[in-house]
Every structure is written in structure tokens, then in C-alpha cells.
Structure 1
Amino acid sequence: MSELSPAEDRVVVDGSNLRGLAHPLRIRLLGRLRRHGRATASMLAKEFDTTSGVLSYHLRQLERYGFISEDTEHGNRRDRWWRANHRTTEFDPVSLEQQASGRLLNAEIVQRAVERLTEAAQSWPDWPDEWRPRFDVSDAMLVLTPEQAAELTDRFYALIKEYPLHRPDQAVPAGSRQVAVQLQLFLDDTGPR
């Protein structure tokens, strides 16, 4: 597992909380609260073009499984504010306990990563001059053992940990921007041998 964040700032998806992420909207809601900070159900309903009732149900499910909680420092009886409880989620796709639902969750997470990359590629021409050269979508075909693949991902995450993790409740330092870094490592030897 990646361990991008300290233990108190990350959640590991297992059989006890997997159902909390068992809907594509919940994955998007959790991502939105992590990226942009707290929000009310009515705010999120507008953003996701759905009703407050539907949003409230999914927020309660995320709360039930420990992914989000009510931000009691904001809001009142009428407007409940919600916040993400953790900065990162770890998912072990090998866990037998997670195989059936885990495959669906993994597919949704991959789809969301593709959507975010597509959005970035489409907005790239409008980025500030100093940021356009930083856009990078690279690939490399490596030949690795399972141990080397583990070492590669461990080294990648060690490097990432050297940089500040985005926190929507903290100001971004001058000259900095929130950036997404994705790592995909998968077998790609399905062609002729």
C-alpha cells in the first residue's frame, strides 16, 4: 500500500467499509470534499446536478462507513456541512474479502482517474504559461519482477511524500497550485510473444 499520508490521515478500504464506496456518486463526492473542502448537501446537489435528497442519502452512507463527517464548526440545524475524514484512501485489490465489490470499486476509481486526466488535457491550452510545459502524460514499458514492481511503487510514493499534500482547509503557498499526480502500473503483455 502507498501510505502517502500518516495513519490518522488515511483510510484503508476493507470488507468493513467497502459498501460505503459502493456507488459511483459516493466516490465522486468523497473526491470533491477532499479536493475542494467542506460543503453542504444543497451545494453538492447543484455541483452534481442531482437532488438534495439523493445527495443527503449518499452523504449519510459515506458518514456511516467513516469516510466523511459533519463539520460542526460550520452550519446550523438547517444546513449541515460535510468534510472528508481522511486525505487519502488505500485500496488493496488483492484482498479476497474485496474481490466481488472490490472489482467494481476499482473500475470506478480507474474511470474517475481517466475523467480527471481527460479534463486536464482539455483545459491544458488555457493553463498559465509557466504551467503548460509541466503537463505530462508519459509511459514506459518496463520488464519487472513482482518485487521490482513493489520497489518501483515504494520509491514513487517515497518521492511524492517529500512534497506537501493538498489540504483544502489550508492556503496554497504563493506561486503554488494544486496538482494531481497519478501512477498506473499494470501488466501489459497481452499481445503476441
Structure 2
Amino acid sequence: MEEQFKISDPQVLKAVAHPLRVRLLGLLRTDGPATASELARKVGESSGSTSYHLRELFKYGFIEEDPERRDGRERRWRPCHRYTSWDAVELSATAEGREAVKIIHLRQAEMVRRMLEEFDVAEWSRDWVDTAGMSDHIVSLPPAGLREFNQKAKELLHDLAAKYAGDPEARQVIAWHGAVPRSTEEEL
């Protein structure tokens, strides 16, 4: 599996930004290969619907058939890449690109909301409840400072994943970080 799929075409970004496609791709990346029927049960959709959206993900190069694990008549799908990226500046050069970037950002926010809704503190130990969640920090930074924060956050997360690989208490964790500049009243 390749590390990343870098999107430069707004149509491709819009294709993956469909709410069900985002979920299906995320499940294949986190839970591993699956059939349309297996995914349909997980997301509460018909297998016809998941099958259609999986074919769309395949058409745009996000997933592939898993040749190592056939499941009778039904295709078993796997992701082609660990994650998807895009250059927001490059895509924002056109109205279509700006729309695609906006849509994918909103889908990402929806995914964060869904994950927080699914996190039931009654199901987790005190240590997990104490460390999970979100916080917000309002600071003043120039673009270079925010770029440095993003890079250091990514490096720290990779370092910690390597440090705790194999730890019996380790669980799959979805970590988010995001930041956008806030307009002041004078700028509005």
C-alpha cells in the first residue's frame, strides 16, 4: 500500500468527499479489507448502495480489489493509500477547486462529530476518558508558525506511535488537529 494519494483534480476531491464514500474509505483504512455487504452492515446502508460507492472509489483510484482475500462471488476491497492529501492553494485557484476544498473540510468536521458521538465514556477506562477528547487554543501565529505547528504535530504523533508500538494497552486512536485563521471585526 502506498503512503499517500495526492489529489490535484477538484473532481477527484469532490468524488471522495461524498459522505458515504468518506466513511467507506475510512473503514477500509482503519478496519482492513471488506466486502460491500460487510461495509453495508457497518454503516446501515444497503449493499447495493455501498457497492455503487465502492465502485466510484475504485474508479478514482482510492481502493482496489484485494487479490489475496477473495470472498466467493463478492469482491473484497482494500485501500490503495494510507491517507489522502491535496494542496489547498493549488486547488483553490478555481471556483470548482475552492468548492471542493470547502466540501472536504466540512466532511472532515462531520467525521470528527461522528467519532465524538460514538465515544461513550462508560465503555472506557478512567485513563482513556481522562486523555481522550478535544480542546481548543486561541493563539496568534503567522502562516509560518501554523505550518511549523502542523509539521511538529505530525512528527510527534509518528514518534509516539513508534515508541508505543506493541504496547498491550495501545488501541487504534484517531487524532485530529486543525486550525484556521479567525477574521477580526475590522477585517469583516
TM bucket (normalised to shorter chain) is 0.7 to 0.9
Correspondence for 2:4: 10
The one-letter code matched in structure 2 to 1:147 is A
Correspondence for 1:65: 60
Correspondence for 2:161: 164
Question: What is the rounded CA distance, in whole Å, between the counterparts of 2:39 and 2:166 in structure 1?
Answer: 23
CA offset at residue 192 of structure 1?
7.4
Q: Does 1:138 align with 2:135?
A: yes
Greater relative contact order (CA < 8 Å, ≥ 6 in sequence): 1
Change (3 A) 1:49 1:103: same
What pairs up with 1:6-45 in 2 under 5 angstroms? 8-15=2-9, 17-45=12-40
What pairs up with 1:114-153 in 2 under 5 angstroms? 114-120=113-119, 123-153=120-150
The percentage of aligned residue pairs carrying the same residue is 33
What do you get for the CA RMSD once the two structures are aligned? 2.4
Task: Give the gaps of 5 or more residues in structure 1.
Answer: 1-6, 166-170
Q: Deviations for 1:44-99, whole angstroms, at most 9, x for unmatched residues?
A: 11222222221111101101111111111112451211111111111333322521
Q: Which has the higher helix share?
A: 2
Q: Does 1:52 align with 2:47?
A: yes
CA offset at residue 110 of structure 1?
1.6
Q: Give TM-score, length-normalised by structure 1.
A: 0.82
State the secondary structure of the residue aligned to 1:102.
helix
Q: Deviations for 1:103-131, whole angstroms, at most 9, x for unmatched residues?
A: 222211221122212322xx123202332
Correspondence for 2:102: 103
Q: Aligned to 1:178, which of 155, 158, 172?
A: 172
Question: What is the rounded CA distance, in whole Å, between the counterparts of 2:73 and 2:2 in structure 1?
Answer: 30
8 A Cα contact 2:36 2:75, kept in partner: yes
State the secondary structure of the residue aligned to 1:154.
helix
State the secondary structure of the residue aligned to 1:184.
coil
Q: Give TM-score, length-normalised by structure 2.
A: 0.84
